[in-house]
């Protein structure tokens, strides 16, 4: 009890949450095991029950614990990897799995929005957008053609960025510097065949399977900030996602 030394600025429920997480990691609490009751935990940590609940709720949202009304709170079996349900960008993700990521700029220009992009970005057809097309490499193998469309009126300043920076810094970092925090994305996935142009860029044969992805990215206030066509080499790319009922 009382492993909550008063650390500056860290909320109690966060400390409790991390304390429980650590006990699970250290296997002081094993899979399927029942936690002490909320009342008991409140007493142990010297806080109110609502505070304990807040910490526990976070861990339930992460899939690390589950509750059974009238029974107790338990450690869930496989810590279902939430990573798979989190939205990550190409560079973050490659870092995480130890792949060397690289991008090369194919083109950046201002265009009139076509219907589909305009709709996704909440613009009217023909409004200016900035189109940024890159080829992305994993360990020096070309794996993805990335064709992003972003509203000109929000992000015109990206045109001043030098190519070097465009290739190494992710778009989302730039969005944040403009005050838009990326929160979610809706993506549609299909299997397709590589056409001639994709085949040339990715050094594959025409007709090779491609994992095609259309993605709209939203900031936390709901503003759509990016609409992207994404063509991934079928033999080099897979996407893992977690869904919940």
Partner DNA sequence: GAGTGGTCTAGACCACCCG
Partner DNA sequence: GGGTGGTCTAGACCACTCG
CA 226 to CA 120: how far, in whole Å? 8
The reply to whether 67 sits near DNA by the rule CB under 7 A is yes
Q: Which is nearer to DNA, 73 or 94 (CB)?
A: 73
| Tokens, residue 67 | 């509750």
User: Which one of 24, 29, 35, 204 is in contact with DNA (CB under 7 A)?
Assistant: 35
Judged by CB under 8 A, the chain residues 16 through 35 that form the site for a second copy are 31-32
The reply to whether 9 sits near DNA by the rule CB under 7 A is yes
For helices 49-61 and 38-45, the axis angle rounded to 10 degrees is 110
CA distances for 23 relative to 16, 30, 73, 95, 225, angstroms: 11, 9, 14, 28, 40
User: Which one of 36, 72, 142, 234 is in contact with a second copy (CB under 8 A)?
Assistant: 234
Please work out the total of residues on this chain that contact a second copy, with binding judged by CB under 8 A.
Answer: 51
The mark string for 132-171 relative to a second copy (x by CB under 8 A, - otherwise) is ----------------------------------------
The reply to whether 51 sits near DNA by the rule CB under 7 A is yes
| Tokens, residue 128 | 């200016």
> CB count, 10 Å around CB of 243?
6
The reply to whether 193 sits near a second copy by the rule CB under 8 A is yes
3-state SS, one letter per residue, for 166-234: HHHCCHHHHHHHCCCCEEEEEEEEEEEECCHHHHHHHCCCCCCEEEEEEEEEEECCCCEEEEEEEEEEC
What's the closest the beta carbon of residue 228 comes to DNA, in angstroms? 29
Give the residues lining the site for DNA (CB under 7 A).
Answer: 9, 11-14, 35, 37-40, 46-51, 53-54, 67-73
Give the residues lining the site for a second copy (CB under 8 A).
Answer: 31-32, 50, 63, 66, 74, 76-81, 84-87, 122, 182-193, 207, 209-212, 218, 220-224, 232, 234, 237-245
């Amino acid at each position: 009890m009382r492993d909550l030394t008063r650390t500056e600025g860290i909320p109690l429920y966060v400390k409790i949450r991390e304390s429980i997480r650590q006990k699970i990691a250290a296997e002081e609490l094993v899979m399927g095991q029942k936690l002490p009751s909320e009342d008991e935990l409140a007493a142990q940590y010297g806080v109110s029950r609502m505070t304990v609940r807040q910490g526990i709720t976070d861990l339930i949202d992460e899939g690390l614990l589950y509750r059974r009304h009238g029974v107790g709170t338990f450690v869930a079996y496989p810590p279902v990897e939430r990573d798979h349900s989190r939205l990550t960008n190409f560079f973050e993700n490659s870092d995480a799995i130890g792949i060397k990521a690289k991008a090369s700029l194919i083109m950046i220009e201002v265009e009139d929005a076509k219907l589909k992009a305009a709709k996704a970005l909440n613009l009217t057809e023909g409004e200016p957008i900035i189109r940024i097309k890159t080829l992305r490499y994993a360990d020096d193998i070309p794996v993805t053609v990335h064709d992003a469309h972003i509203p000109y009126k929000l992000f015109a300043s990206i045109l001043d960025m030098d190519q070097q920076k465009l290739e190494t810094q992710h778009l989302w970092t730039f969005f944040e510097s403009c005050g838009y925090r990326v929160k979610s994305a809706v993506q549609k996935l299909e299997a397709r065949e590589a056409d001639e142009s994709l085949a040339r860029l990715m050094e594959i044969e025409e007709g090779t399977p491609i994992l095609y992805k259309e993605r709209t990215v939203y900031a936390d206030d709901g503003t759509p900030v990016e609409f992207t066509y994404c063509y991934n080499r079928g033999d080099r790319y897979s996407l893992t996602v977690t869904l919940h009922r």
